Each structure stands twice: as C-alpha cells, then as structure tokens.
C-alpha cells in the first residue's frame, strides 16, 4: 500500500464514520476497515474501480463527487477523505465546501507543485514537470487545478478553514505531497 | 386449481386488509424454498419475483417444465448460494402459479373471480408474503432481494418491516412508477381487453382464452426489456429462413419471428387477468405517496444495509430512478452501496448471465454474511 495511505489512516480515529471520496480500487478503505473502523464507505467514478471495491467486499457508491456529495446531510461523517483528487475536479472549491459540510473533519491530500523537483524540472528543462506523483504529460493530465502546499494554506486561511497539522510534517519545498486535516 | 395440487403452499388464515379496502383471509400463498435453514435461523433470504415470475426461481419449474427464472443467480455455488443460504420465494397474490389470484374459484359464485378479484398493490403482495416469516419462524431475514417489480417489493418490505431484514438488494427498479411505465403497462392491458375472448375478464367460465391480446401485450413488453443496441446486435435486419423479403405481412425479419415466439409461449404459462392485476399493482406503486413525497421518510426507521444495482442499457427502470433511492438513503445517513453495471442487455440484464452483476450480488452477500458469523 502507498505510504500516503498509511499516513492518512493514522489520522482517522477508531470506529469513526468515514467517507472516502474518490476511493479508487478501495485499497485505503480496505486497510481502514480491517484495522481502524468498519463504518467506512467510498464514492468512485470509474466502473472498473467500483468492481474492485465490490470484490473487496467494501461499501461503494458509484458516482461523481462533484454532483453526488450534496445528497449527504451536514456533519454526517466524522472524517471525509480526499486523496490526490482535488486538483482533478472542475470546481474544487465547491468540492472542498461540500467536504467540510458533510464531514466534521476533512482529510485532504494534494500533489505539491511547489516541490523542488517540480521547480527544478520547469527551471532546467523548460517543460511541464513529470514526476512520480505527477506522471502525465500536459496534454493528457487529469489535473486541472494544480497548486502548491503554500497555495493551499493561503486558500484555507482566506476562508477561515482551520488546518490541523499537528501530526504532519510537510514543507512546500521538500514534500511531494501535502496531507491536511481541515475543519470549518 | 388441480395443476397446482402438488406444489407447496400455505393457507393464510390471518385477515389481510388490502389497500383497496377489502379484507381477505384463508387465502393460498404458494412458495418454494432452496437450501437449508441453519440452526439459529439466520441465513434466510426472501426473494421477490418480477411481473411474470413465480416461486420457481431455480431448477426446473414443475408446472411449465422450463428453467427457473433466476437460474443464473440462484443455486448451489451461485451468487445467491443455496449451499449457504435458505431462500424463500413465493408467488405474489394476484398471480397465477398457485397463490390467491383472479383464476381462483370464488366460493360465493363457484366460478373464477375474473375481474371481480380485488385490485392488489405491491404493499398487499408484501404483506401477504410476510406471513412466510411466521411460518418458518424467522425473526430476521438475512436479506431481501428482487429485480424490477421484485425490487419494488424489496423497498416496500423494508419500509413496512424496518427491522426484519439485515440487508436488501433492490435491482433495476424504482420507488415510484413513471408515466412512461404506466403508459407501457396500459398498452398491454388494452391489448388484452381488446381481445374478444377476454369477455370482460370472465373468459374462463366460457372456456375462452384471450391469447392473442395477451401475446401482443407480451411482445410489446418484451421490447421494453431489451435495449436498442442489444436488439441491433442480436437481430439487425436479418431475415427469418428466407433469402429475400416476401412482400407480405409474414414474419420476414428474425426480430418479428422472435417476438411472435415470445408471445406464443407466454400465453401457455400466464393468465391474462393476472397480467392486468399485476401491471396495475406496479402502476399504483409510489412509495413516496404515504410520506408526502419524501422517499427518505419511507426508510427512516430501518436499520437495513442496502445495495442498489442498475444497468446502463435499462431504459425501463433507468439508473436515474435507482439513484434516487440511493440519494434518499444517503440523505438520512443510511448504509447504502450502489453500482451501475455495464450491459447492453437492457432491463433483462438482471435475469441473464452478466458476470459483473452476479459478482456484485455474491460479494455483497458474502461480506455481509461474514460480519454476522
């Protein structure tokens, strides 16, 4: 399992009610189900990934987070997880608002466009950065709204979104990934 | 009726007040079971059949000698594994496979009820079938499962008996019958009633059968169970045992011949009045009606874990209508999963060999069953 998932799993509490938005093939959900809380479900857009979740015996709702989060009532989950998907939404601001509405806490991870490798790539090669966390070319990337850790912090500050970072060590220059616990 | 003398049935003594206002009692409810009930009676599943189904879901139907309607899904080692689960299936009231229906003899007149049979609803069907839980002394079902009209019964069951099913799998259904579906059912009913042999529903006492009307109703309905892509792929413009068009109204095309065949075999196994009554029950189905249009309220008291399944090419009970049920459940924080299965087999997908669908049912049941072990 990806190291990122262990780090996210550490942030959720025992037997809490969790929604994994864009849960992919269910790897993180399975780990959390087996080790931390059985009260977890996911939303996933891709049919093949939905089938993989089903095969793992996970509760999955096939759907599109941009449209389908609005059906959940306010504060209906203890944690809502969004792993490296925010940048791919058409309207990430709306998705973030929904995450903070339906979750008491939102755990959001973003690929950091401010990482030194990314900066170096653009500086030296003069082409759009392609790295482990950003493996696509400019013409086929699903990432519409790339940002840096600093951008994201500024965004939250402007909107009075509380960033709870006590378990996390991340830096705009040295972290490939930013993982945040957010509260409204 | 004589042909049903060897099938399993209970006589329900407890009076049932129907939605139409009439009360029935001492009525027959025909059923079949598959698998074995375990010691603590925790492995029972009730499955509900669709419009033209019956209690013979698996194996060979002893009356029609045809395969059970859910042979792909139900049986030893299959998605609904009868090596593990005890499955109860019954014939809905209003039906024609041994349960109380319009071809039964009215004790007052000594003649078949015909259209004097009371109008039945999905709610009535479910309330009648609930008696089987008492009969088998089952406190709580492990699951309730059904497709199409069977799915509507699943929804009604959970709404009526919120703590009597641990899990529920409504498949390719709706919580409220659409105008399009009412229209299509009306087409079928008018076709039956336009047949001279129908005789206002009293055809049996005159030894007549409205076969032509019923066959046309079935042909029209059968088209709605398929998809455009599926029809095109299977039949296209292929001709039926001929090299060229005959410039007549014979069945030139394979699709015509296929539909005529579907119509002709249907009349041998199904009663025209039952077709009227059951389609009416579907049209009257609107689970939101009692709750001021708010579907969530129908499930508020339930602790059932849902898994809802729809199919991409089903235009009769489209994904959007199935998703409405998901939305209603999520809105009140209930436990629900949802999958839309890719299939070009239309509404009929739930009856056919669609591996992703069958796997979904299997994995959901297996996981849920493990959790209660």
What domains can you pick out in chain A, each with its CATH number?
Answer: 3-183 (3.40.50.150)
Helices (H) and strands (E) in chain A, counts: 7, 7
The pLDDT tens digits of the residues spanning A81-116 come to: 999 999 999 999 999 999 999 999 999 999 998 888
**Amino acid A164: pLDDT:** 83
**Amino acid B139: pLDDT:** 98
CA dihedral B282, B283, B286, B292 (to 10 degrees): -160
Nearest to A60 by CA among A9, A28, A26: A26
Mutual angle of helices B355-371 and A47-55, in 10-degree steps: 40
Asked if residue B119 has pLDDT above 90, the reply is yes
Residue pair B222/B284 in contact by the 8 Å Cβ criterion: no
Asked if residue B233 has pLDDT above 70, the reply is yes
Residue B167 or residue B5, greater confidence: B167
Nearest CA in chain B to A41: B337
The pLDDT tens digits of the residues spanning B188-222 come to: 999 999 999 999 999 999 999 999 999 999 999 99
Nearest to A54 among B332, B339, B371 (CB): B339
Q: What is the mean pLDDT of residues B296-314?
A: 98
Question: How far apart are the C-alpha atoms of B61 and B64, rounded to whole Å?
Answer: 6
**Amino acid A174: pLDDT:** 80
Nearest to A71 among B327, B360, B364 (CB): B327
Global ipTM = 0.91
Domain B2-177+287-371, CATH number (from 3.40.50.1820, 2.60.40.10, 2.40.128.110, 3.40.50.300): 3.40.50.1820
**Amino acid B127: pLDDT:** 98
Q: What percent of chain B stands above pLDDT 70?
A: 99
CA distance, residue A73 to nearest chain B CA (Å): 6
Burial degree of B208 (CB within 10 A; 0-12, 13-18, 19+):
middle
Q: Which residue, among A51, A65, A68, A104, would best test binding to B if mutated, counting the most B CBs under 10 Å from its CB?
A: A51
**Amino acid A2: pLDDT:** 87
Asked if residue B373 has pLDDT above 90, the reply is no
**Amino acid B2: pLDDT:** 65
Nearest to B90 by CA among B136, B128, B143, B44: B128
The answer for B 278-337 residues in CB contact with A (under 8 A) is 305, 307, 323, 326-327, 330-333, 335-337
B67: tokens are 């395969």
Which residue numbers of B are catalytic? 148, 314, 347
Q: Containing H/E element for B182?
A: helix B179-193
**Amino acid A170: pLDDT:** 63
- DSSP letter for A1, please: -
B114: tokens are 């015909």
CB contact under 8 A, B337 and A72: no
The pLDDT tens digits of the residues spanning B53-79 come to: 999 999 999 999 999 999 999 999 999
Taking 50 as the pLDDT cut, the residues of chain A under it are: none
CB contact under 8 A, B338 and A63: yes
**Amino acid B102: pLDDT:** 98
Nearest to B73 by CA among B369, B355, B272: B355
Q: pLDDT band for position B99 (50/70/90)?
A: very high
Looking at domain B182-279, its CATH architecture is Orthogonal Bundle (1.10)
Nearest to A161 by CA among A176, A181, A182: A182
Tell me what the pLDDT averaged over chain A comes to.
92
Nearest to A55 among B330, B336, B359 (CB): B359
Kindly list the domain boundaries of chain B, sorted by start residue: 2-177+287-371, 182-279
Please list, in sequence order, all residues whose beta carbon lies within 8 angstroms of the beta carbon of residue A140, skipping any fewer than 6 positions away.
none
């Amino acid at each position: 399992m990806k190291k990122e998932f262990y780090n996210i799993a550490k942030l959720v509490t025992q037997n809490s009610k969790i929604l994994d938005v864009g849960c992919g093939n269910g790897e993180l959900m399975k780990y959390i189900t087996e080790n931390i809380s059985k009260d977890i479900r996911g939303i996933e857009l891709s049919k093949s990934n939905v089938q993989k979740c089903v095969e793992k015996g996970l509760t999955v709702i096939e759907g599109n987070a941009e449209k389908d989060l609005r059906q959940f009532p306010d504060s209906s989950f203890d944690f809502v997880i969004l792993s490296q998907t925010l940048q791919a939404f058409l309207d990430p601001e709306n998705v973030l608002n929904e995450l903070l509405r339906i979750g008491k806490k939102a755990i959001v991870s973003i690929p950091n466009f401010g990482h030194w490798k990314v900066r170096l790539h653009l500086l030296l090669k003069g082409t759009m950065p392609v790295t482990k966390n950003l493996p696509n070319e400019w013409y086929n990337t699903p990432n519409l709204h790339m940002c840096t850790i600093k951008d994201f912090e500024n965004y939250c500050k402007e909107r009075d979104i509380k960033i709870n970072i006590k378990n996390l060590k991340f830096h705009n220059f040295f972290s490939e990934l930013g993982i945040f616990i957010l509260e409204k | 009726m004589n042909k049903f003398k060897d099938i399993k049935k209970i006589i329900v003594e407890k009076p049932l007040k129907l939605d139409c206002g009439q009360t029935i009692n001492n009525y027959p409810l025909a059923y079949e079971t598959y698998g074995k009930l375990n010691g603590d009676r925790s492995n029972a599943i009730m499955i509900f059949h669709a419009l033209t189904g019956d209690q013979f879901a698996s194996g060979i139907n002893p009356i029609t000698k045809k395969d059970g309607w859910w042979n792909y899904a139900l049986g030893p080692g299959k998605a609904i594994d009868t090596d593990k689960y005890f499955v109860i299936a019954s014939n809905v009231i209003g039906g024609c496979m041994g349960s109380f229906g319009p071809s039964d003899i009215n004790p007052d007149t000594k003649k078949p009820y015909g259209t004097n049979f009371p109008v039945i609803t999905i709610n009535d069907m479910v309330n009648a079938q609930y008696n089987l839980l008492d009969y088998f002394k089952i406190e709580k079902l492990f699951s309730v499962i059904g497709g199409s009209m069977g799915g509507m019964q699943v929804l009604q069951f959970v709404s009526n008996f919120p703590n009597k099913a641990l899990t529920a799998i409504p498949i390719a259904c709706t919580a409220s019958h659409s105008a399009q579906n009412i229209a299509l059912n009306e087409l079928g009913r008018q076709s039956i009633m336009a047949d001279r042999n129908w005789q206002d529903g009293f055809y049996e006492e005159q030894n007549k059968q409205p076969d032509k009307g019923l066959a046309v109703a079935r042909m029209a309905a059968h088209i709605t169970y398929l998809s455009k892509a599926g029809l095109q792929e299977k039949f296209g413009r292929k001709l039926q045992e001929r090299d060229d068009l005959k410039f007549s109204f014979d069945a030139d095309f394979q699709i015509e011949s296929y539909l005529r065949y579907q119509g002709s075999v249907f009349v041998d196994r199904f009663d025209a009045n039952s077709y009227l009554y059951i389609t009416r029950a579907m049209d009257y189905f609107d689970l939101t009606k009692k709750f001021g249009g708010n579907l969530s309220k129908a499930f508020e008291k339930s602790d059932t874990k849902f898994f809802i399944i729809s199919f991409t090419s089903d235009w009769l009970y489209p994904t959007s209508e199935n998703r409405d049920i998901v939305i209603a459940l999520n809105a009140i924080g209930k436990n629900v999963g949802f999958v839309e299965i890719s299939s070009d087999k239309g509404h009929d997908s739930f009856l056919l060999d669609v591996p992703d669908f069958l796997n979904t049912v299997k994995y959901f049941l297996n996981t849920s069953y493990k959790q209660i072990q």
